[in-house]
Amino acid sequence: MTDHYCVVGKDVTHSPSPAMMNAAFKTLGIDADYRQVSVPEQGFVREFSHLLSSRVKGMNVTIPFKTVVIPLLAGLDAVATRIQAVNTVKMEEDGRYLGHNTDPDGIQEPLRPLTASLDVRNALLIGAGGAARAFCEAMNRMGIIDVSVVIRGSARSRDFVPEMEKAFPRMNFTTAAMDDLRHLNHDLVFNASPMGSDGGPLPQELRRLLPGSKVVFDAVYRPRETNLLAEAKKNGAQVIHGEEMLLWQGMAAFKLWTGKEAPEKEMRRALHAALRGARRRPGGGSRER
């Protein structure tokens, strides 16, 4: 019998995840399929309950549901508990649905080869959503304890740092406003916000910050070459495109669901093909994170 999986978000119409995951199932001969489920915010609880009753084997959860899904689950693993965000749901053998988070893997794995050769000691984080929480987990794993967080004015941003300080007591968090970054200087810059997904200009304060940065990682994957990454390249930084985070978190989710190593080459090929196809379609720039 075919096992069913899906990605759930507010608008995942153009998500490349089905192409990537279905390629993995096909490569390993697993009888399973993976689809998109777009849900309006006010209908999430009802639709999620319907998915659970359908006995779907696993889900990826994306914006804006990574936090609101938590009380609907039977429990969380250690990572999801620590950062209070879920991006992967798995049905256990006893039928319970547990929440996990593979986003830290999506951040850590692309960074691993660069941080092995570069002396990366501190980081600048832009954003305060689920990807930002995953970034803090990844930095904690990597032993990077100094993180500056760019505050963009929302209530969520104001709550973010105290919550991360509680989750990671060994780490040092400082805050800065986007219009006053001149005193900062960081080896690693990570954009966990939607900034750049609409092709808008890079804030001047952030542009002035980039010289001297060693690695710049943008979680936005459409467009592939965001203004942040283009400017970082001009200043000699190593850059990591957002599709790398999407790939590696997906590979970790696949292994969590199936117990099998994800076929990286085939998943990467399918992901790139899906993203190229989306760039040719009108309206193909929706964001999943």
* Residues carrying an active site annotation: 66
What is the rounded end-to-end Cα distance, in angstroms, of the chain? 31
Listing from the earlier edge strand, what are the strands of the sheet with 58-61? Answer: 32-38, 3-9, 58-61, 88-91, 97-100, 75-76
Q: Rounded to an integer, what distance in angstroms lies between the CA atom of residue 114 and that of residue 214?
A: 9
Q: Are 211 and 189 in contact (CB under 8 A)?
A: no
Q: Are 104 and 138 in contact (CB under 8 A)?
A: yes
| Distances from the Cα of 129 to the Cα of 30, 150, 166, 213, 237, angstroms | 33, 12, 16, 23, 25
Burial readout 26-43 (b: 16 or more C-beta within 10 A, e: otherwise)? eeeebebebebbebeeee
Instruction: Count Cα atoms within 13 angstroms, Cβ side, for 262.
Output: 23
Q: Rounded to an integer, what distance in angstroms lies between the CA atom of residue 11 and that of residue 285?
A: 11
Q: Are 189 and 210 in contact (CB under 8 A)?
A: yes
Residue 230 identity? A
Q: Rounded to an integer, what distance in angstroms lies between the CA atom of residue 248 and that of residue 218?
A: 14
Q: Rounded to an integer, what distance in angstroms lies between the CA atom of residue 181 and that of residue 140?
A: 23
